[in-house]
Copies of this chain bind each other. A is one copy, B any other.
Amino acid sequence: MQHTVERWDIFEVTLDGPAEGNPFLDVTFGARFAYKHRVIDVDGFYDGDGVYKVRFMPDSIGAWTYTTRSNIPALDGQTGTFDCVPAAPGNHGPVRVRDTYHFAYEDGTPHFSVGTTCYAWNHQGDALEAQTLETLKTAPFNKLRMCVFPKHYTFNQNEPPFHAFAPLQLPPEGGEPELPSPSGRGGRSETAFRGEGGRRFDFTRFNPAFFRRLEQRVGNLRDLGIEADIILFHPYDRWGYSTMPAEVDDRYLRYVVARLAAYRNVWWSMANEFDLMEAKTEQDWDRFFQIVQESDPYQHLRSVHNCHRFYDHNKPWVTHCSIQRSDLTQVSHWRELYKKPIVVDECCYEGNIPNNWGNITAQEMTHRFWEGFSRGGYVGHGETYLHPDDVLWWSKGGVLHGDSPARIACLRQIMEAGPPVDPRGAHWDLNQSADAEDAYRLLYFGINCPAYKDIALPEDADYTIDVIDTWEMTIARLEGPFSGKCRVNLPAKPYIALRIRKLH
């Protein structure tokens, strides 16, 4: 038994229990964790083959105790202790919202979200998944959007190695089981469903091997310092995952949360393009949020991603906005509308496929990152270059072919060398953001090509000014220092930014 655990790492209790019947439905299992007078009730889960687990992510350093609870005597009332020790370097805890519009790890380190999208990378088999992880080691991303369920779509026709539910057991005579319609709820609809591709799952039984594999990939990302933005539902489906009965949806959500919430790098995304999922209603989405919110002991970040229309991000269970839109100038507007962090996870992808959402240039991708960040938001990357075997980064991972990641890396360095910034003194002719003390300003000119800009700095302090060519990745310090009104000569080309810092 594990007796010490790193702060924000996973403490796991494993017990043996019944394997007969359907433990997914029949057995309740969980544990109460306690630190001094503080107690936290955590749901466990059945991992197959008579094995029961409960996972816990401690946030306080010191001695913890736990007591299990179950409707099965062998699993109930088991107790234990463990020590939570300080986090190792690189472990900053889960990401939280900070200062309304920004993020920070729980240890206080700012988190500047620099995301990418690999929807189905975790359904591609070990070789390609290992290559994706290898790519991510040197890529600039600290968040990755990925789906629990596999993806059926253009360039995504392959069958995943594992499925989330157990296969349906055929009757002994080989006869056809009675199958309800996909939209049926209750009765037999809970136990069996024929997907569009003809595959049949027993929706009352999860496939633990599938989830162990998912956890492995979430852990791989954690070890690379990458947040796993886990997409719980999505519309691109031939197996029936997008049209499961409500009871199955809800049980699935509780099971995923029980298994994954102790991973500190988890973010919950209710869906990719929720508004394309015709079988779900607004009430379903509200309920999904509520189930995740009430089940997750750690309150990981929660959002939902749109195609056309937005979910109402003002609802209290939404921690940040996850947005698909191309016009990044709207970031400042969305900030005012929702008063939450703005993450534009999808603003078209660098690539050359025929679909217009997947064929912008590296310049445009880089520009959208800067446009969004300099307006107080965060932007997500994706890449969709045609590939002979349909291995496009945006869904399958593999290697990166584009020219934007190097520029995004440069932006991330600049972000992390400065404070979070909010729009300040910006107007139609000036895209300017600054930190709270106005000791740091960022001006981004985007496609505009001024030969100079007149700027007004306080008279009573000195400032340095750097001219950043966001595409060429050069930073040139202007001869200074500067204060008061000054004219800054600029190269009159696109994609230039100014960084202005107060000298201390």
A residues at B contact (CB < 8 Å)? 351-357, 359-361, 364, 386, 428-430, 445, 447-454, 492-494
* Residue in B closest to A455 when the chains form the complex, CB atoms: B354
Q: How far is the CB of A407 from chain B (nearest CB, A)?
A: 17
Contact present for B451 and A361 (CB under 8 Å): no
Contact present for A451 and B355 (CB under 8 Å): no
Q: How far is the CB of A7 from chain B (nearest CB, A)?
A: 47
Q: A355-B429, A492-B352 are in contact. Are A360 and B451 (CB under 8 A)?
A: no
Q: How far is the CB of A401 from chain B (nearest CB, A)?
A: 12
Contact present for A356 and B428 (CB under 8 Å): yes
Contacts of A360 in B (CB 8 A): 447-449
Contacts of A450 in B (CB 8 A): 352-356, 359
Contact present for A354 and B449 (CB under 8 Å): no
Contacts of A492 in B (CB 8 A): 352, 359
* Residue in B closest to A449 when the chains form the complex, CB atoms: B359
A351, A355, A359, A361 interface centre (most CB from chain B within 10 Å): A359
Cα(A235)–Cα(B428), bound, Å:
19
* Residue in B closest to A431 when the chains form the complex, CB atoms: B356
Contact present for A451 and B354 (CB under 8 Å): yes
| 18 A-B pairs (CB sep. < 8 Å) | A351-B449, A352-B449, A352-B451, A352-B492, A353-B450, A353-B451, A354-B451, A354-B452, A354-B453, A355-B429, A356-B429, A359-B448, A359-B449, A359-B451, A360-B449, A361-B447, A361-B494, A386-B451
Contacts of A354 in B (CB 8 A): 450-454
So how many copies of this chain end up in the complex?
2
Contacts of A494 in B (CB 8 A): 361
Contact present for A361 and B453 (CB under 8 Å): no
Cα(A428)–Cα(B494), bound, Å:
26
Q: A359-B492, A492-B359 are in contact. Are A447 and B364 (CB under 8 A)?
A: yes
Contact present for A448 and B386 (CB under 8 Å): no
Cα(A449)–Cα(B350), bound, Å:
9
A386, A450, A494 interface centre (most CB from chain B within 10 Å): A450
Cα(A430)–Cα(B351), bound, Å:
17
Cα(A428)–Cα(B358), bound, Å:
13
* Residue in B closest to A429 when the chains form the complex, CB atoms: B356
Contacts of A352 in B (CB 8 A): 449-451, 492
Cα(A494)–Cα(B350), bound, Å:
12
Cα(A448)–Cα(B492), bound, Å:
24
* Residue in B closest to A308 when the chains form the complex, CB atoms: B428
A351, A449, A494 interface centre (most CB from chain B within 10 Å): A449
Contacts of A356 in B (CB 8 A): 428-430, 445, 448, 450
Q: How far is the CB of A220 from chain B (nearest CB, A)?
A: 32
Q: How far is the CB of A16 from chain B (nearest CB, A)?
A: 55
Contacts of A451 in B (CB 8 A): 352-354, 359, 386
Cα(A454)–Cα(B354), bound, Å:
8
Cα(A443)–Cα(B356), bound, Å:
13
Given A354-B453, A361-B494, 13 further pairs, Cβ under 8 A: A352-B451, A352-B492, A354-B454, A356-B428, A356-B429, A356-B445, A356-B450, A357-B429, A360-B448, A360-B449, A361-B449, A364-B447, A386-B451
